[in-house]
Amino acid sequence: MNLKNNLKFFIIFTLVILLFHWRLITMKSLFIGGDNLMQFYPWFKAYSESIKHLNFPFWTQYMQSGFPLMAEGQIGGYYPLNILFFLILPLNVAYNYAIVFHFIIAGISVYFLTRKLGACEWGGTLAALIFCFGSAYAGCFYNIITLRTLSWTPLVFLLFELFFEKRKPVLVLIAGVIYGMQLLAGFAQIAFYCWIFYLVYFLYRFKLRKTILYFLMFSAISFIIFLPQLMLTYKLLLYSARTTADLQFALWGSFNPIYAAGVVFPYWPGFSVSSFYLSIFGILFLITSFYLLKTDKRLAGIFLIFALSLFLSLGRYNPLYVMFLKLCKFYTFRNPSKFLFFAAMASSVLAGRGFSEFMKDNFRHRNSALRIYCIMLSLCGLTFLVSKVLLVSFKDMIIKAGEWYINAFIFGKSSHRHGLDTYLNKIPSLYNSMVDGTSLRNIFNITSWLLLISALIISWLIINKRKMRMPVYSKGLVIFAITADLFIYSFIGTGFRGNMCSFDILKPTHGTIFNYIKNDKDIFRVLPYGVGTGELPAWIMPNANMTCKIDSVAGYTPLANEYYRKSLSPLEIIDNSLGVIPPEKNSIDDTITLLRLLNVKYIISAEELDKSYLKLVLTEGRIYLYRVTDNLPRAFAMRKLDMSGIDTDIEIKMVEYKSGKALFKADMPYDGFLAFSENNYPGWKAYVNGKPGKIRPFLLINAVELNKGENLVSFVYSPY
């Protein structure tokens, strides 16, 4: 790599990284909005504490009455960069800097891939900016797990290109190692999609007999790297609801073709959620690249990725995609719009290459590209105005259409759990947001219109200029304009910038209740009652409780144990990524036996509870803290394995207890059982007086048979 030939890129990219991420770099903010507070940050806190003690968090005591955390692949427990960052750096620094680092990896990789495919330094720089700060990341379709996984994709394509040129198998092996890292990074669905596009690209670009052999070598090394994680995650998957998912689940989150207008108006309703944005001037250079496809086979391979990913992202709006799912009955993955990540990557490369050609004085297709560009912008602008008129003129018809859509595609479907009235009541507010989305007073729409009009004027001036020579400063000016456009785009919705929050978000509210629980030195669990109401303090919500080291019976993960979830389903405390609804009226009455069994001592509720077995401890604001009377400890004796056999008169001494390991002393006056109130997920082993004991599942927890007399009993979680 010649630094001199790429100096402009490194200077510009460094400045842009600082512009977009200065709050993360200077630790002014934490990337913790949305799911990051309820999933990833709590998990990384547990991970950071374990890895600093040179252990992996195979089990955590803090969620779902015990959970195999390393098996939840999204944590990326074996991902080398996670190990490195969280081993060396403090939690918050590692958390923020890992995000910034992956932006850097993504930008540098796509830059050199675009250069390899014929772009100039400016074109490669443009590709890096669009990939990192367009819809792929700045729009932040999802989360940092997506960022970790997708950021390595252009590097794999670059290694493929180098292999096609030099025919050195070691490049395929290195690509296999990189893909293995992608598999470990956490987002298995995106990593699996990567494999599909790698195969398509490899077959298209390398039409020789050895194609399959080389690709099998690539796949084999990545599989070997991924195997330790796969063994854990596959087991957890079998116990989750994903194995019983249906077609409607798999089609949830399809990319509606109407959203395509978001390429010009990203604020338009819904576009900030699943938008496809590469800056308004980036569209021109994407169009320009299409003129190069006939003469550049390498670029045609990237275009194939672009077209295929758009085609697949349509999901339910694509009959062939629906037919394929029905034939293979593979419904584990949902949200086909995730394919747009690959369209975003491919379009950034194509735009960078198109930019390099467009800025050449002798490019003969410039005016043709500009005319298509102007037609496209005009159509998008016209569609926007027509939509505005229709929304205002046909309000009643639109609301009726919304009611029909809810009945046809939402209510009663597996991925939508709320009642019909709940969905119907949202229609007026949804309609109002659509009207707001087409408002000509909205600053983002005003900006989009100014950019659109400016683009049309500039295009008209270039088309009508007989002899066209691009000024020396024009490339830098375009890069500056696109950076400014993407910077404004990053403020839309709850994308990347919207997930940057002050550290104050970690400070517990309702401090009196919080301190009361933290000052109780017993070992116990809590029940957050009313998770679906959204009224509980953040620190007691599923998974967020982990940041405060409070054990909870609740949990939030797509791979939640389905048997556990169903057993406690009336309480609505287990979110398997389909959301939770307000609990049933008599839910505590129906589950109090299990709650006692699970060592629940306190219930934190957003409503008053009049139950004979609950004692009100504190009231703070509209939050109530109750104590469960006659709650059971973390370990207790039993005469026999049923609720009538519980014997609380026998003292069980806890010698040691931590996530994945417990040691108890029990002086049994009779032959019986010791029950350990921990989720009885497979992998637990018991030892009685140093000898293996047989785990006996009892409802949701573990038990082991003991003989009369003194017993030293240990429980150890052994995932493999």
Domain boundaries, the chain: 4-30+72-492, 507-628, 635-717
Quote the pTM value.
0.92
Give the burial class of 651: count Cβ atoms within 10 A of its Cβ; 0-12 exposed, 13-18 middle, 19 or more buried. exposed
204 pLDDT more than 90: no
> What pLDDT is attached to residue 466?
63
For domain 635-717, give the fold: Immunoglobulin-like (2.60.40)
Residues 495-541 have pLDDT tens digits of 677 788 888 888 999 999 999 999 999 999 999 999 988 899 999 99
120 pLDDT more than 60: yes
Which of 87, 81, 93 lies closest to 53, judged by CA?
87
DSSP track, 556-599: E-TT--HHHHHHTGGG--EE-SS---PPPTTHHHHHHHHHHHTT
Q: How far apart are CA 356 and CA 375, in angstroms?
A: 22
DSSP track, 589-640: HHHHHHHHHTTEEEEEESS----TTEEEEEEETTEEEEEETT---SEEEESS
3 pLDDT more than 50: yes
Residue with tokens 């798999």: 250
- Bigger pLDDT: 205 vs 619: 619
> What pLDDT is attached to residue 139?
45
Residues 27-81 have pLDDT tens digits of 999 988 878 888 999 999 999 999 999 999 999 999 999 999 999 999 999 999 9
Local confidence band at 616 (pLDDT 50, 70, 90 cut-offs): very high
Mean confidence (pLDDT) of the chain: 90
> What pLDDT is attached to residue 663?
96
Mean pLDDT of 549-572: 94
271 pLDDT more than 50: no
Local confidence band at 26 (pLDDT 50, 70, 90 cut-offs): very high
> What pLDDT is attached to residue 140?
45
Local confidence band at 273 (pLDDT 50, 70, 90 cut-offs): low
- Bigger pLDDT: 714 vs 506: 714
